[in-house]
Chain A
Amino acid sequence: MTPEEILQNLYDETMVGNGPAVIELTNTGLEMGMDPETLLFDALIPSLEEVGARFERGDWFVPEMLIAGKAMAGALEVLRPLLAAKGTETIGKFVMGTVKGDVHDIGKNLVNIMLEGAGFEVIDLGVQVSPEKFIAAVEEHQPDILGMSAFLTTTMPMFKANINALEKAGLRDKVIVLVGGAPVTQEYADAVAADGYAADASAAVKLSKELIAKQRAALALNA
């Protein structure tokens, strides 16, 4: 295979969620001396972006997104140490969790998979995450974005409690706060003063990229 064929096959096999083929192609590419960044930015990420676009148009469905994301995650496991050694900057760092009182995690996990597929580093705190745990994770990992998920109208108020806790800890302006979950709306996100709301996994990836780009541009301007 030529490097071009590797990239094309990697793009195609990721899109259809063929995990074993994606890992094999990644390894073959590396053995051929291809740059891990090339594999990531010229095949894997564009493939997942296309999956996300198809999903958003309603042409593709959740399981297709899920298996593509999982296939990509397999390749990332191979690439991550190489990228880290090269000092490649990740697209962004995410701390994610389902709020206290809530055990629903299917939607959150889908968002995680798509974020990782897009090149984000995701630290998943799981379900029933207390304000203290969110604060500790933000302090420890210093993420670009804190993502909170709630599936119940009774647990949604934890968004506000967590945002208040961030303020109290002096961390609110250090991190972008995104919220989501079945009963959550843009209106509600605004009411609790979150920085953003996304309705599904694909929208969450798009919004995260936008907000990080905006923040980095603002930082560059101030510097």
Chain B
Amino acid sequence: MQTILRSQTKTVTIGDDQPFCIIGERINPTGRKLFQQQLRAGDLSQVLIDIEEQIAGGAHVLDINMGVPLADEPALMAQAVTMAQEACDLPICIDSSVIEALEAGLSVYKGKALVNSITCELDRIEAVLPLIKEHGAAIICLTNGEEGIPVVWDERFEFCKRLVDIVHGKWEIPLEDMIIDALAMPIGAEPQSAYHFFKTIEAIKDEFDLNTTCGASNTSFGMPSRHTLNGTFLAMAAGAGMTSAIMDARSEECIRAVRGSDVMLSKDEYGINWIGHYRPPAKV
């Protein structure tokens, strides 16, 4: 299955015959007090800095989230998306829990965007999917519903089936435009969470061959040496069949882990890309 995303000039393909797709996550003010103050004051300069860092780190797609409490999120999203498209040629993942912000971002976006996200909650599905259809975007679908986030993999997989029924079956969104987020949870709070995550990914791949993703940094919440744990998780998830992740491209360890997984999974044959990235300086 190939999910195609586009900016004005560039196409990025997500799929199991493609290198692991790095969706750079840092363009997000959550937990960043100074950034939030700047955004409330209409100063978006940090957005450009974050974009540059994600690109320098190796991001293929940029996730943009402008979730600032007590601010005009739709206006900020439209501005940030426009700025990003002027500054670079990467496709964008428009990320918001606010419908109006998704709408504002999509309406100024040039190309085929990814939208983050819906769950099995019907109210939100009915608000978001018309936008996805109108703009021909792809959509990240989370495997949880109103009742909460299931711990065990087969319950999460049930949500995936429901999502396919609704998003593809009822709303006629092409399967290749659905990316399933199998929900990475903190391993420090639930020791079995990675096991259930990998099993969910495998089941989705076997049954539907859909592209999959997750917010990888969740995994290491509350732990020391977070980048190493995130990187280990990412490589193992890629091994289970995950084809993309929303992750911090500034993390050298995570980037190396997913590029290494490309070599191991024959997505980077003979490790030619790997060598290109990590070749030591020539000796003459």
Contacts and interface: CB of A to CB of B under 8 A. Distances in A.
Given A62-B221, A62-B222, A103-B149, A110 B67 contact: no
Contact of A183 (B69, B146, B149, B186): B69
Interface in A139-164: 152-156
A185 interface: yes
A106 B186 CA distance: 8
Contacts, number: 64
B152 interface: no
Interface in B113-143: none
B33 A185 contact: yes
B3 to A, nearest CB: 25
Contact of B69 (A66, A103, A156): A156
B148 A66 contact: no
B276 interface: no
B169 interface: no
A106 B188 CA distance: 10
B30 A182 contact: yes
A105 interface: yes
A153 B40 CA distance: 14
Interface string B185-200: 1101110000000000
A63 B36 CA distance: 30
A153 B69 contact: yes
B186 A153 contact: no
B164 to A, nearest CB: 21
Q: Classify the secondary structure of B's interface with A.
A: loop
A152 B147 CA distance: 16
A153 B97 contact: yes
A188 B189 contact: no
A107 B50 CA distance: 27
A61 interface: yes
A103 B147 contact: yes
A106 B224 CA distance: 18
Given A103-B146, A153-B98, A185-B33, A62 B69 contact: no
Q: Classify the secondary structure of A's interface with B.
A: loop
Contacts of A152: 67, 97
Contacts of B223: 61-63
Contacts of A128: 146-148
Nearest to A128: B146
Contacts of A66: 188-189
Given A62-B189, A153-B98, A183 B67 contact: yes
Interface string A57-87: 0000111001000000000000000000000
B222 A183 contact: no
Nearest to B31: A182
Nearest to A103: B148
Given A103-B148, A105-B148, A188-B70, A110 B189 contact: yes
B261 interface: no
Contacts of B185: 106
B63 interface: no
Contacts of A104: 149
A43 interface: no
Interface string B235-255: 000000000000000000000
Closest 7 pairs between A and B when the two form their complex, measured CB to CB: A62-B222, A154-B97, A153-B67, A63-B188, A103-B148, A62-B188, A152-B97
Given A106-B189, A153-B73, A183-B31, 7 more contacts: A62-B223, A103-B145, A106-B221, A126-B148, A153-B97, A188-B69, A191-B70
30 contacts: A61-B188, A61-B222, A61-B224, A62-B189, A62-B221, A62-B222, A63-B188, A63-B189, A66-B189, A103-B147, A103-B148, A104-B149, A105-B149, A106-B186, A106-B190, A106-B221, A126-B148, A128-B146, A153-B30, A153-B67, A153-B73, A154-B98, A155-B97, A182-B31, A183-B30, A183-B31, A183-B69, A188-B69, A191-B69, A191-B70
